[in-house]
Amino acid sequence: MAKYVPSIGLEVHAELSTVTKVFCGCPTTVGVPPNTQVCPVCLGFPGVLPALNRQVVEYGLRAALAMNCEITRPSIFERKGYYYPDLPKNFQISQKRSPLGLHGHLEIGVDGASKRVGISDVHIEEDAAKLLHPEEDTAHSLVDFNRGGVGLLEIVSEPDMNSPAEVEAYMTAIRNMLLYLDISEARMEQGQLRFEASVSVRPEGHDELGTRVEIKNLNSFRAVLGAVEYEIERQTAALEKGEALHQETRLWDDERGVTETMRRKETSEDYRYFPEPDLVPLEIDGEWIARVRSELPELAEQRARRFAAEYELTEYDANILTTEKALADLFEETVKVGAPAKAAANWVTGRLLYHVNEQGLDLADLKLTPAALAELISLIESDTITGAAARQVFDQIVTSGEMPKTVVEALGLTQISDDDAIASIVQEVIAEHADAVESYRKGKENALKFLVGQVMRKTKGRANPQVVNDLLRKKLMEA
Ligand code: ZN
Ligand code: MN
């Protein structure tokens, strides 16, 4: 049977984190009461005039240049006509024929290998309002116009991805890029990052792409991957049975885990694009482009390579550290204030991530400062506290923001390395656990571990484990 190759492209809509909206001066603060950040422009009143937000262009330029795009000069705003309750003007101001950036690419890493995904187009547009469908009142829907008119960046990839793993790597790379460029908060649960996927499948060896299906309504990595996997299977099964596929738009049903036909054969003609008469062509001068290009920050990929070389980390650790900008910053600042790189990397990729995942925390919620982490590491290296005590301190300061020394003093966690002090506790433990002592003498190494554990318990983890081990062995030999 023929093998089938999927080709996947993604459209990403990212809400830009500018202070005001794209065509009016309304603020973009999230979490405020509905319809409190609105004006006649973003409510789409007749006769109002849009005025382009310079910061939106600046942010768009950053992304377009970071993805190696050619900057279109001039780029043109157009009206994309469609009727929906979240769009009172009945058109969205977007860019179609002359988008801000064209012909770029982004490098993604999959299984240690690097792959280049083409970016066909990067453009600026306005977000629609948010529709709410209250469960208690199914007869009505509510519209929150606070989101209407917020600046969006749409990033359209070529159908260059051939597996769900590549799609996941691409989404991660896009999200990281937005965070590293500081142009979007990219919080998916807030709808600040939304996806549409196009999926087609063709027999191996065929150059021409198969019939393309677009999937809308994808608001999380999980939804995108679920929909892509479902479509690859559905299309492959259809081709194997000799059935025809339709070019169509399908909707992802998150609960049932399936895609369903929404409409067939949608083309851009349906949107009746035409140039927005109220905005002049956007001519970005060479100086502006050159300045933004020169100010581009180091991105995740470059940073991972630099971390590996500069701090002698494994490629694996360097990649984990750089997936989230906040993590990479914490690591690097900790090293800058004096911590050894290997120890800092271990704490950040180990205990910190464990803690974050375990508690379901957001990195932004953490109060741990680089100075605090560096101090904690120095307390271990100077044998002031044990590894066990350090973990206890860490779990507290990671969300409290306290300095480790304060916590060590408050909890009385200073390590006991004094042989005499430990010796008397060792003696106690030996006296209390004759059974274990007996088994150790019969050659059971595990019994020693148990006895060490008992000493650590009595000292609340403050005894130097090496000293405990040595003393125990010595005493057990003597007795
Ligand atoms: Zn407004
Ligand atoms: Mn769009």
pLDDT in tens, 185-240: 998 888 899 999 999 999 888 888 888 999 988 999 999 999 999 999 999 999 98
pLDDT at 165: 94
Ranking 163-172, 373-382, 412-421 by mean pLDDT, the lowest is 412-421
466 pLDDT band, cuts 50/70/90, is confident
pLDDT at 34: 95
Percent of the chain scored above 90 by pLDDT? 55
Rounded distance from Cα 131 to ligand 1 centre (Å): 17
Return mean pLDDT, the chain: 90
Ranking 32-46, 258-272, 281-295, 392-406 by mean pLDDT, the lowest is 258-272
pTM assigned to the model: 0.76
265 pLDDT band, cuts 50/70/90, is low
Three-state secondary structure of 274-302: EECCCCCCECCCHHHHHHHHHHCCCCHHH
What's the rounded Cα separation, in Å, for the pair 81 and 83? 7
Contacts of 57 (CB under 8 A, 6+ apart): 100, 124, 282, 284
What's the rounded Cα separation, in Å, for the pair 266 and 249? 7
Rounded distance from Cα 36 to ligand 1 centre (Å): 10
315 pLDDT band, cuts 50/70/90, is confident
275 pLDDT band, cuts 50/70/90, is very high
Of 190, 255, 254, 233, the closest CA to residue 32 belongs to: 190
Q: Are 8 and 215 in contact (CB under 8 A)?
A: no
pLDDT at 189: 85
Rounded distance from Cα 293 to ligand 2 centre (Å): 25
**Could you tell me where in the chain the CATH 1.10.10.410 domains are found?**
419-478
478 pLDDT band, cuts 50/70/90, is confident
Q: CB neighbours (10 Å) of residue 451?
A: 25
What's the rounded Cα separation, in Å, for the pair 102 and 104? 6
Rounded distance from Cα 15 to ligand 2 centre (Å): 11
Rounded distance from Cα 166 to ligand 2 centre (Å): 22
Rounded distance from Cα 21 to ligand 1 centre (Å): 7
Determine the average pLDDT of the residues in 390-400: 88
307 pLDDT band, cuts 50/70/90, is very high
Q: Is the pLDDT of residue 80 over 90?
A: yes
Rounded distance from Cα 322 to ligand 2 centre (Å): 29
pLDDT at 266: 60
pLDDT at 302: 84
Q: Is the pLDDT of residue 479 over 70?
A: no
3-state SS assignment for residue 250: strand
Determine the average pLDDT of the residues in 103-132: 91
Instruction: Retrieve residue 303's tokens.
Output: 């940073």
Of 382, 430, 373, the closest CA to residue 404 belongs to: 373
Determine the average pLDDT of the residues in 98-107: 95
Q: Is the pLDDT of residue 356 over 90?
A: no
Instruction: Retrieve residue 285's tokens.
Output: 């001068």
The CATH fold assigned to 419-478 is Arc Repressor Mutant, subunit A (1.10.10)
Which residues are close to ligand 2, an ion, with C-beta < 5 A?
154
Instruction: Retrieve residue 366's tokens.
Output: 């953490």
Determine the average pLDDT of the residues in 387-397: 88
Q: Is the pLDDT of residue 1 over 70?
A: no
Rounded distance from Cα 145 to ligand 1 centre (Å): 9
Rounded distance from Cα 187 to ligand 2 centre (Å): 18
